Structure 1
Amino acid sequence: MKHIRLRRISGLAIATALFAAAPFLSAQAQQQHAHVHGQMKLDVAIDGPTVVIDMESPLDNIVGFERAPKTDAEKATVEAAVAQLRAADKLFTIDPAANCKLGPVDLRSGALGLGNPDPNEPPGHADLDATFSFNCTNAGAAKFIDLNLFSVFKGLRQIDSQIASSQGQFKRQLKRPAGAQAAQPARLSWGK
């Protein structure tokens, strides 16, 4: 009889594998995460020296429409939104204890001709997906990220988030604050 030695896998490794496997979920499971205007999904994985934020959002939340831009005004709106997303360190301020610097930013949208978009995206319901990587000297020390998404993207009303860190796995939901508070960062926090 042959003995197989199994290696212990950390919860963070499992969570990271689940985030990576998300694009391969069945069509039925993907329908459960329906394209809902006003809602954005953020998955945060803290692993080793990196913080990676995966974002899925209806394009309407970001630019106010869900197709390729047609007018000069729409093209300018798209250019401004893409510039804001590429300057992700202004949208996501990671806990200073982690000492993070923005790394690669990967934007994907079929309607905008960005990156390698999801080929199964239904027509008329365009998304903008992104991966923001931050290189840190002490990523494990991060206990929050301040999000400037509500103040920048006016169509955004709710952020659903999953966080995988050495401190555990967490689910959080943030809603757009009312009035003047919408201009202030919303804090996505986890851990102890």
Structure 2
Amino acid sequence: MIRLPLLFAFTLTATSTLATASETRQADAHEHGHGQLTIAIAGAEVEMEIEIPGMDIVGFEHAPETDAQHKAFDAGKAKLTEGDSLFSVVGEAGCALKETHFHEEEDHDHDHDKKSSEAEHDEEHMEFHVSYHFSCEDTAKISGFSFPFFKHFPNSEELDVQIVSPKGQFQFEVSPDEPALTLN
């Protein structure tokens, strides 16, 4: 299929832009409540990729240790697999979720200044990194996106959304108070 390389080109552009933003964000303090979502639209395909702190999804930011934490982790991961109940395409595009892929969950070790206290030293921050693949009848009919995501994950306060599409590149912030965006 000729259009598939185009999707990868869009995804690569979006990922490069997201990587730069992510590097900048990681250089700053770890920020709970704030995730990043990249959306690439090309041909009949929509690819979404989210990076979100573990605190937003499961209520803690380290690898699960107790039985209760393991249950919360499994429940959070199960909710994240349901991309079509977290992200909705607005318009008559006829999109359906075809695949969900979890990238390795990441624990980010933050080395603090040697003068910092023992409690702060070797702090870990878990993040979830998930990709979603949607197949659509007509992506030209996508007029926006809504985010029921916030109803499922009330610890999440904001998603920085980057969209790459044939219409151009767009950047939005969505939140529980404004859980939708419109493409013009």
The normalised TM-score by structure 1 is: 0.75
The answer to whether residue 78 in structure 2 is matched with residue 83 in structure 1 is yes
Cross-structure match for 1:154: 154
Matches for 1:16-165 after TM superposition, within 5 Å: 16-21=11-16, 30-34=22-26, 35-110=30-105, 121-122=108-109, 124-165=124-165
Cross-structure match for 1:190: 183
- Cα-Cα RMSD: 2.5
**Aligned-pair CA distance for 1:21:** 3.7
The answer to whether residue 172 in structure 2 is matched with residue 172 in structure 1 is yes
- Please give the secondary structure, in 2, of the residue aligned with 1:151: helix
The normalised TM-score by structure 2 is: 0.78
**Aligned-pair CA distance for 1:108:** 2.5
- Could you list the runs of 5+ residues in structure 1 that have no partner in the other structure? 1-10, 111-116, 178-184
Q: What CA distance in whole angstroms lies between the structure 2 residues aligned with 1:93 and 1:30?
A: 24
Q: What CA distance in whole angstroms lies between the structure 1 residues aligned with 2:56 and 2:102?
A: 15
Specify the code of the residue in structure 2 equivalent to 1:92. F
Instruction: Please identify runs of 4+ aligned residues in structure 1 that moved more than 4 A.
Output: 11-15, 22-25
Percent identity of equivalent pairs: 28
- Please give the secondary structure, in 2, of the residue aligned with 1:68: coil
- Please give the secondary structure, in 2, of the residue aligned with 1:43: strand
Specify the code of the residue in structure 2 equivalent to 1:45. A
Change (3 A) 1:15 1:50: closer
**Aligned-pair CA distance for 1:16:** 3.0
**Aligned-pair CA distance for 1:166:** 1.6
Q: What CA distance in whole angstroms lies between the structure 2 residues aligned with 1:24 and 1:158?
A: 18
Matched residue count: 163
- Could you list the runs of 5+ residues in structure 2 that have no partner in the other structure? 1-5, 110-122
**Aligned-pair CA distance for 1:152:** 0.9
Cross-structure match for 1:181: none
Specify the code of the residue in structure 2 equivalent to 1:157. E
Contact (CA 8 Å) 1:12, 1:166: kept in 2 or not?
no
**Deviation string for 1:94-138 (max 9, x for gaps)?**
12411011111111243xxxxxx58xx336011111111101111
Task: Determine which structure has the larger strand proportion and give its number.
Answer: 2
